[in-house]
Amino acid sequence: MEPLLAPLVLETPFPRGILPYLVGGLLVGLGAAVIYLATGIIAGASTFLESTLSYVSDVERFNRFKYIQSRGWRVVFTLGIVSGAALWGLVLAPDPTIWTTDVQWWRLLGGGVLVGVGTRLGKGCTSGHGVCGVGSLSNTSFVNVATFMAFAIGTAQLVQALGVTP
């Protein structure tokens, strides 16, 4: 291992070191910056559903100008996230069982619903607030990220205390 990269390997919490996460974080930040510079729009993923529903729904909420105007790139953005993860999983994943889980389907569904509700209550998701909002020094995003973290830590502690396992 290169002497320069040696400090980036922390055996206990990160068996593969922190370099993959560092590179990934830099790429996420770069992608968010490029989207913002090219379009002037914050690259949050939570608006994807509403803008995509404008294709098939007559409900006024989904047919706002901002959704219709941005739905094309939001579809490409979200498909890029999904296909990038799938490509990594199929080609580069160190373990092919990475796509499996012992968690019951109803728990996954419940978690997804709670995340969706929280995203709407917080007026954005972790990609919008955590990457773009904090990066632009938004006070609202700092509060939202702190709230996301507090609830995530609290939920993890509660689940562990209750002995809930998959």
> Is residue 18 exposed (0-12), middle (13-18) or buried (19+ Cβ within 10 Å)?
middle
Q: What are phi and psi of 16, to 5 degrees?
A: -95, 5
pLDDT cut 90: percent of the chain above it = 8
Place of tokens 């990609």: 127
End-to-end CA separation in angstroms for the chain: 37
Q: What is the pLDDT of residue 146?
A: 93
pLDDT for 139 beyond 90: yes
CA torsion 44-49-53-55 (nearest 10°) is: 50
Q: What is the pLDDT of residues 69-94, one digit of tens each?
A: 888 888 888 888 889 888 887 887 77
CA–CA separation, 142 and 76 (whole Å):
28
pLDDT for 2 beyond 70: no
- pTM of the entire structure? 0.68
